[in-house]
A and B are shown apart, each in its own frame.
Chain A
Amino acid sequence: MSIYQIIEKYGKKESGLISILQDIQKDKGYLPEEALSIVASEVKVPLSHLYSLATFYNVFSLVPRGRHTINVCLGTACHVRGGARLLDKLKRDLQIEPGETTQDKRFSLEAVRCVGCCGLAPVIVIDGNFHGKLNQKKLDKVLKNYE
């Protein structure tokens, strides 16, 4: 779907902006500057307004992402069951911080708030697939499925 079609879908009004940005993000994996410029001129809002939305809401990224996005859940249940240790391991193995992407563009790493799968804590979500009851060793096996 082109950016113009996405804008059309929600109407050229302010209340549709977050939905428009969400769809662009889903389509492109991030919010490219050119896309934001088009939205700004079509919906007639300043580009700075879109920048404030894109930086306020956690779902948006202004930089391109890797082939796979790893979301490490840091909800309370995951926290008490070792979620932070999984994040530490990923930081160590991938040599990146949350919000960054590996040089080979294989993985982007994110630390996220509760994904609502607390019964299986600790949980990570890769490309929308949930992996629960993990420890550091199982995590290695899971990552092998994402090239």
Chain B
Amino acid sequence: MNKEKSEVKTYRTHVLVCAGTACVSNNSLNIKAAFEREIKKQGLENEIQVVETGCNGFCERGPITVIQPDDVFYQQLEEKDIPFLVEEHFLKGRPVEKLMYIPEEKKEPITKMKDIEFFKHQRLVVLKNRGRMDPEQIDEYIGFDGYKALAKALISMTPQNIISEIKASGLRGRGGAGFPTGLKWELCRKSRGDIKFIICNADEGDPGAYMDRSILEADPHAVLEGMIIGAKAIGAHKGFIYVRDEYPLAVQRIRKAIQQASDYGLLGKNIFNSGFDFEVEVIRGGGAFVCGEETALMTSIEGKIGRPRSRPPFPAVKGLWGKPTNINNVETWANVPMIIQRGSKWYSTLGTEKSKGTKVFSLVGKINNSGLVEVPMGITLREIIYKIGGGIPDGKKFKAVQSGGPSGGCIPEEHLDLPVDYEELAKVGAIMGSGGLIVMDEDTCMVDVSLYFVSFLTEESCGKCTPCRVGLQRMKEILIAITEGKGQLEDIEKLQDLVHTIKNGALCGLGQTAPNPVLTTLKYFKAEYEAHIKDKKCPAGVCKALITYSIDSEKCTGCGVCLKACPVEAISGEKKKPHKIEETLCTKCGSCKELCKFEAIVIE
């Protein structure tokens, strides 16, 4: 243990610099260094502490820094801003307005984080420590009541007490299917066998979802604490965290957390003198989407290729190396300490009748406020997208929100007032999934989205069952034909047939849910399929074979930017006179449209 760190030192102000992956990619570590440099230069280093925190959530606005206890939210910082900021804010006591957040279509900056719409409507349970502590310091976690729940569970609760408490809380699996967590634990506890395992599934494969990565990065000890409590309830002495190798920061943070917890005697032999032993090992995934499926994940831990096997027997009976195994995802484990500490009664006041607690979503795509949000179950999609997310950028029209990744579905405008819970989402053909909410606007082609997911799954299908391996390939071919204008009307029927064959014939969750994106887009956006097939048009202007690029001569100022950007010299024209695109040369790469400031590039 680092002695210096354990000394209690009080500071009047904390500068909380976000060091989530998105902010780090936006140079936040240099921002942190600049803060430290400037604060020292001004002789304030004994009064102001700079802290590197986990993901703040408002990724769109990174790099982010929050000053506490003032609650001032600074965003999109650059290194050169810091000397001025330190001088103004800390020496002169004048928060710097120009570095604050200004909502779309408004002029006034918002000073305090709690007043920003993005944060105002959230309810933090799992993410309670995000952005307020250094995730690499176990003492800070303990300072925020960390490991209290563990002490309670190990010293004053029996395994059955713990299970009853989790059952009473109504917690359900946050990985997607929503199986009641307490019941899952009980099944595993009751399974015969001396050796049992628990696993944390951090193989977050759903494209567009990054809450598990963020939780591991921002609050790794909460996941560990949840796992140790679960292990005690189930009677397991060994746990595994299976985490994507693509998440290096998460791997580093959880490894560090395990080391610190071991040094403090919170992992290992005789934890809290309770006689209970438990250890955890980190396994890095190999980048196969199917390994998010529990049986495939377990075969991967065994060192084999990750192919699912049939259930039953369920992992609770026969899992890792044939032993009873309990597997939950990151967010589920991270919920556990709060339930034990504050009680199931408190927890079950949050949410709806059948879906208790909160859910973390990654709100991304065509939305103003991209980021990670935690909301109580039962909130409507409209509130999430418009209140928290701030609506669709550039005045475009909302088209759909995709929930649940490749196993989920696209939800249209008419269902936006749906309360978010497991059952309600299933009713409209989507699923809760791990929590990706990808917003799509009028410029998103739903046939292209459908093809996108089918292509994804075709590549990620492990190939074991024919309906999934071949069925998805056939679906992909049909969808490609439609996007290229070679589709026939009977293709829609063929797609519907394939949907049922794959759903009914596949062995694992990947295959059984694979047709969902096709199913929901066919259900809600059939007209778009028909436009591709009958009119040979892509209404959203995405499918290359069905669109042409041209220049609106009235809007074009002849600035020449597009002419220079065109990689195939398809654009010609004299300076200050309207330019032209030669259709036969144009590859529809979109370079011109990206750069034109006058919206003169027209796609039809």
> Does chain A have a CB within 8 A of B332?
no
Could you tell me if B594 and A58 are in contact, using CB atoms closer than 8 angstroms? no
Neighbouring A residues of B456 by C-beta, 8 Å: 113
Neighbouring A residues of B205 by C-beta, 8 Å: 113-114
Q: Which of B208, B303, B371 contacts A75 (CB 8 A)?
A: B208
Could you tell me if A59 and B303 are in contact, using CB atoms closer than 8 angstroms? no
Could you tell me if A116 and B210 are in contact, using CB atoms closer than 8 angstroms? yes
CA distance A59 to B372 in the complex (A): 27
Could you tell me if B364 and A118 are in contact, using CB atoms closer than 8 angstroms? yes
Neighbouring A residues of B444 by C-beta, 8 Å: 80
Nearest-neighbor residue (CB-CB) of B289 within chain A: A113
Could you tell me if B25 and A132 are in contact, using CB atoms closer than 8 angstroms? yes
Could you tell me if B370 and A80 are in contact, using CB atoms closer than 8 angstroms? no
Q: Which of B26, B287, B300, B303 contacts A132 (CB 8 A)?
A: B26
Could you tell me if B207 and A114 are in contact, using CB atoms closer than 8 angstroms? yes
CA distance A115 to B247 in the complex (A): 8
Could you tell me if A128 and B248 are in contact, using CB atoms closer than 8 angstroms? yes
Could you tell me if B287 and A114 are in contact, using CB atoms closer than 8 angstroms? no
Q: Which chain B residues in 355-385 approach chain A with CB under 8 Å?
A: 362, 364-366, 370-372
Neighbouring B residues of A121 by C-beta, 8 Å: 364-365, 370
Neighbouring B residues of A120 by C-beta, 8 Å: 22, 25-26, 59-60, 62, 370
Could you tell me if A56 and B207 are in contact, using CB atoms closer than 8 angstroms? no
With A22-B286, A119-B371 given, is the CB distance from A56 to B365 under 8 Å?
Answer: no
**Interface-located stretch among A62-70, A82-90, A100-108:** A82-90
- Cβ distance A55 to chain B, nearest Cβ, rounded Å: 9
With A114-B207, A119-B364, A120-B25 given, is the CB distance from A79 to B452 under 8 Å?
Answer: yes
> Does chain A have a CB within 8 A of B213?
yes
Q: Which of A19, A60, A113, A116 contacts B284 (CB 8 A)?
A: A19
Neighbouring B residues of A14 by C-beta, 8 Å: 302-304
Nearest-neighbor residue (CB-CB) of A88 within chain B: B589
CA distance A120 to B595 in the complex (A): 19
CA distance A53 to B567 in the complex (A): 40
Could you tell me if B22 and A13 are in contact, using CB atoms closer than 8 angstroms? no
CA distance A78 to B284 in the complex (A): 24
The secondary-structure label for the interface of chain B is: mixed
Q: Which of A60, A92, A113, A119 contacts B370 (CB 8 A)?
A: A119
Could you tell me if B565 and A136 are in contact, using CB atoms closer than 8 angstroms? yes
- Cβ distance A146 to chain B, nearest Cβ, rounded Å: 15
Q: Which of B22, B284, B306, B460 contacts A117 (CB 8 A)?
A: B22
> Does chain B have a CB within 8 A of A130?
yes
Nearest-neighbor residue (CB-CB) of A119 within chain B: B59
With A76-B436, A92-B589, A121-B364 given, is the CB distance from A19 to B287 under 8 Å?
Answer: no
Could you tell me if B366 and A80 are in contact, using CB atoms closer than 8 angstroms? yes
CA distance A81 to B444 in the complex (A): 9
Q: Which chain A residues in 8-60 approach chain B with CB under 8 Å?
A: 13-19, 22, 52-53, 56-60
Nearest-neighbor residue (CB-CB) of B370 within chain A: A119
CA distance A42 to B284 in the complex (A): 22
Interface centre among B214, B304, B372 (most CB of A within 10 A): B304
Size range of the chain B interface in the assembly: 35 or more
Could you tell me if B22 and A18 are in contact, using CB atoms closer than 8 angstroms? no
Neighbouring A residues of B453 by C-beta, 8 Å: 76
> Does chain A have a CB within 8 A of B122?
no
CA distance A123 to B21 in the complex (A): 12
Neighbouring A residues of B365 by C-beta, 8 Å: 76-77, 80-81, 118, 121
Neighbouring B residues of A5 by C-beta, 8 Å: none
With A57-B286, A132-B26 given, is the CB distance from A82 to B246 under 8 Å?
Answer: no
Q: Which chain B residues in 433-472 approach chain A with CB under 8 Å?
A: 436, 438, 440, 444, 449, 452-453, 456, 460, 462
- Cβ distance A45 to chain B, nearest Cβ, rounded Å: 9
With A89-B591, A132-B22 given, is the CB distance from A77 to B208 under 8 Å?
Answer: yes
Q: Which of B24, B286, B303, B590 contacts A60 (CB 8 A)?
A: B286
> Does chain B have a CB within 8 A of A3?
no
Could you tell me if A118 and B362 are in contact, using CB atoms closer than 8 angstroms? yes
Neighbouring A residues of B204 by C-beta, 8 Å: 116
CA distance A19 to B591 in the complex (A): 41
Neighbouring B residues of A76 by C-beta, 8 Å: 207-208, 364-365, 402, 405, 436, 438, 449, 452-453
- Cβ distance A40 to chain B, nearest Cβ, rounded Å: 13
Q: Which chain B residues in 279-294 approach chain A with CB under 8 Å?
A: 283-284, 286-289
Nearest-neighbor residue (CB-CB) of B561 within chain A: A137
- Cβ distance B426 to chain A, nearest Cβ, rounded Å: 20
Q: Which of A19, A56, A119, A128 contacts B372 (CB 8 A)?
A: A119
Q: Mark B379-396, 1 if CB is under 8 A from A, else 0.
A: 000000000000000000
Could you tell me if B594 and A136 are in contact, using CB atoms closer than 8 angstroms? yes
Could you tell me if B210 and A80 are in contact, using CB atoms closer than 8 angstroms? no
> Does chain A have a CB within 8 A of B574?
no
Interface centre among B210, B214, B289 (most CB of A within 10 A): B210
Interface centre among A52, A78, A79, A80 (most CB of B within 10 A): A80
CA distance A42 to B267 in the complex (A): 32
With A13-B303, A119-B22, A130-B22 given, is the CB distance from A85 to B589 under 8 Å?
Answer: yes
Q: A56-B306, A58-B286, A113-B456 are in contact. List 8 more A-B contacts (CB 8 A).
A: A53-B305, A76-B438, A80-B366, A85-B590, A114-B205, A118-B208, A119-B60, A119-B364
27 A-B interface contacts by CB (under 8 A): A14-B302, A56-B462, A75-B207, A76-B364, A76-B436, A77-B438, A78-B207, A79-B452, A80-B440, A85-B594, A113-B460, A116-B210, A116-B213, A116-B214, A116-B246, A118-B208, A118-B364, A118-B370, A119-B59, A119-B362, A119-B371, A121-B364, A129-B25, A131-B25, A135-B595, A137-B565, A137-B595
Residues of A near any B CB (own CB < 8 A): 13-19, 22, 52-53, 56-60, 74-82, 85, 88-89, 92-93, 112-121, 123, 128-132, 135-137
